[in-house]
A and B are shown apart, each in its own frame.
Chain A
Amino acid sequence: MRSRWMQLVAVLFVFVFAAISLIQQIALPDFNGFTRQTASFLNLLLFLLPLFILTIGSMGVASDLESGWFSLLKTYPMTITQYIFGKYIALILSFMLILCLAFAVVLGMSGISGQVHLPLLFVGLSIMTVLLFSSIAILCGSFAKNRLHALALSLVVWAVSLLLLSYALMAIGTVVAGHVLQKLTIIMLHINPAEWVRFGYFLFSDQTSVLGPSFYSFTEFYSSTVGYVLYAVVTILWIVIPLVFAKWVLMKRGRQA
């Protein structure tokens, strides 16, 4: 909260969010469905949020480790679990605050022009993005040797989940059969949190048909009650597993130290 870096992020985020929603809405009439506007909103969310969360979150943990703060903490009656949990909550809260600010600005603007409006789904997805990537950020931080290493690590994770994995898949798609590409895409969707959020958008806005007929049976399954439950379970796993893993890493490092 107190860092300049965080304030800068907040200002930037609010500005971009507001600008995009304003520009797009002025140019086009209001319509429900998957359009370039909703797509750019979604992409903005997927590009910016994870980038900031990963870098800030991981550097926070890494600096604790680097500065010996963590070793000091260990002398207090506090377990590693408590430490991780506390870090996680703090990270979530600060990003929630930034998000709230951005949404409030958009809401205020919608009052002025009557055009801009923010679907509730995007609010939900942003919160989910924060929850998912905060936990991954902490994992990145616990791996890192120092803050610079943490920064590099989180950038790699960001690039892989947003760009490199899909590029790899698209490249593979040019040589393999359609059904193989389809199966790989489904696998990729589960092992990549960014894609998981994106898939969530299509699922909950009832627009799975955008993904095309080849994913029909797959999206049909996720549109059922069992599918929704599974979606929730996978999401929770994405939050819990990195945190548990981070704890394990920190414990191991603690013993080595």
Chain B
Amino acid sequence: MKKRWLVGIFAIVLCLQACGNKEYKPRKIVSETDICKICNMSIVHKEYAGEIALKNGDYEIFDDLGCLVEYMKDMDEDDLGKAFIKDKSGKKWLDVKTASYVYDKDIWTPMSYGVIAFQTKDEAKKYIEKEGKGELLSYSDLDTFKWGVHH
């Protein structure tokens, strides 16, 4: 009887584990419950939010690109499914590793890190041209970027 129970539970667990789709998709953000994994702030500015889909099917939510990068630095590469960040318009999810970034100290983000994301390098360049300021960054630059020092 007991054994059958254990086997049953184990089967359910396995099934649930397996059911997690292997194609990582960003999930919808719920303002009522989602808080940033790193800084605990609730996500009220969805247009700056970031997300990490873990291999085990869990999601970690971040309010700002800076928090997401900090989490990625400390995490085990093997657990990472895919990382997403909202683009400048706040409507589209981008893959963090392929996106282009613009930094300027006057750009406001929830943590005031001042870095926003664009799908392509051209879009980012256009933005810098239009605003007349800003610094173009790639994903590899983010790793060494000094977050939040300009204050």
| A-to-B contact residues, CB < 8 Å | 168, 172, 176-180, 183-184, 187, 213-214, 216-217
Contact = CB atoms under 8 A, between A and B. Distances in A.
Describe A's contact surface by its main secondary structure: helix
A180 B33 contact: no
Contacts of A178: 58
A131 to B, nearest CB: 26
Contact of A177 (B17, B34, B35): B17
A184 B54 contact: no
B9 A180 contact: no
A216 B35 CA distance: 13
B11 interface: no
B11 to A, nearest CB: 12
B32 interface: yes
Interface string B1-35: 00000000100110011001000000000101111
A214 B58 CA distance: 11
Nearest to B13: A176
Contact of B33 (A172, A183, A187, A213): A213
The 9 closest A-B pairs by CB, nearest first: A177-B56, A213-B33, A216-B33, A180-B16, A177-B58, A178-B58, A177-B57, A179-B57, A179-B58
Contacts, number: 36
Contacts of B33: 213-214, 216
B146 to A, nearest CB: 32
A180 B30 contact: no
Contacts of B12: 184, 187
B26 to A, nearest CB: 15
A187 B13 CA distance: 12
A189 to B, nearest CB: 14
A180 B57 CA distance: 8
A183 B13 CA distance: 10
Nearest to A175: B13
B102 to A, nearest CB: 33
16 contacts: A172-B9, A177-B17, A177-B20, A177-B56, A179-B20, A179-B57, A179-B58, A180-B16, A180-B56, A184-B16, A187-B12, A213-B33, A214-B33, A216-B30, A216-B32, A216-B33
A217 B34 CA distance: 12
Contacts of A217: 30
A217 B57 CA distance: 18
Contacts of A176: 13, 16-17, 56
A183 B35 contact: no
B17 A180 contact: yes
A249 to B, nearest CB: 15
